Amino acid sequence: MSGPRSSSVGIPGTRARTRNAILNAAAKVLARDRKATLADIAKEAEVGRSTLHRYFADREELVNEVVEDSLHLIGQAVEDAALDRGEPMEALRRAVSAMVAVGDRLLFLFHDPTHFDKLEDTEPDATDLALRALIERGQADGVFDPQVAPDWIESVVWALVYSGCEAAGSGALPRHGVTEAVMRTLENGVCAR
C-alpha cells in the first residue's frame, strides 16, 4: 500500500538520504565480497534489514540499482572531464583522474563481470563513447599508438585505473599518487625513458 515507490522526485530528503546510504554501503560491501548478505549490507548502511527491503524489494533490484547508480556517477565524472577538449594526453589525464575519484564504484563494478555483461544490453553508454572518441582523436593526432586497436587501449586504461585504485585501497600506493602512477605507465609503459 502506498509504497513510496517512484524515483527521487519530490521525496522528503530523508528517503533519498537513506536510499543513498544503502546504495553506498552496498557498493562498498559488495566490492569486497560479492557473496555478502543483505544483512551485511544493511548493517554497513546502519539500517534494519526490513528498511533495506522497503527500498529494494529484491537483492537483484538492489544490485541493479547500485550498478545503475555507479554507472551514473562514473559517467558524470567522466563527462565533467570534457574529454573532447584540449590535448589528448591532457584529456586522458583528466579522464583517469575522474575515474580514480569514483574508485570505490569502479572496484564494485569490476569485481563482478556479470554486471558488465548486462551493460552490453543497453546502448553503448556515453562514458565509453567519450573515451573511445578521445582515443581515436589521440591516434589521429599521432599522440596515441595508432597500431593497436582502440579497444585494447580502452581496456588498458580501465585496467590500470582499476589496478591503481586497488593499490590505493591496500596501501601499496598513496591515494594521491594513483593518477600519476597510472599516467606515467600509460605514457611510458614500464620502461625507463
Partner DNA sequence: CCGCTATGGGACATTGATGTCCCAGAGTGG
Partner DNA sequence: CCACTCTGGGACATCAATGTCCCATAGCGG
Site for a copy of itself in 26-85 (CB under 8 A): 32-35
CA of 125: how far to CAs of 21, 99, 154, 191, in Å?
Answer: 25, 15, 14, 34
In the bound state with a copy of itself, the residue whose beta carbon lies nearer, of 125 and 166, is 166
Provide the minimum distance between the beta carbon of 62 and DNA in the complex, in angstroms, as a whole number: 8
Q: Which of 16, 39, 129, 148 binds a copy of itself (CB under 8 A)?
A: 148
The reply to whether 90 sits near a copy of itself by the rule CB under 8 A is: no
The reply to whether 15 sits near DNA by the rule CB under 7 A is: yes
Site for DNA in 29-58 (CB under 7 A): 37-39, 46-51, 53-55, 57-58
Please tell me the distance from the alpha carbon of residue 3 to that of residue 160, in angstroms, as a whole number: 43
Going by C-alpha positions, the residue among 80, 33, 93 that lies closest to residue 41 is 33
Which residue has 544490453 as its cell numbers?
Answer: 121
Please tell me the distance from the alpha carbon of residue 56 to that of residue 51, in angstroms, as a whole number: 9
The reply to whether 142 sits near a copy of itself by the rule CB under 8 A is: yes
Please tell me the distance from the alpha carbon of residue 47 to that of residue 50, in angstroms, as a whole number: 8
Phi, psi of 178 (to 5 degrees): -60, -55
Residues lying near DNA in the complex (CB under 7 A): 1-2, 4-12, 14-15, 18, 37-39, 46-51, 53-55, 57-60
Residues lying near a copy of itself in the complex (CB under 8 A): 32-35, 89, 111-114, 139, 142-149, 151-153, 155-160, 162-163, 166-167, 172-173, 181, 184-193
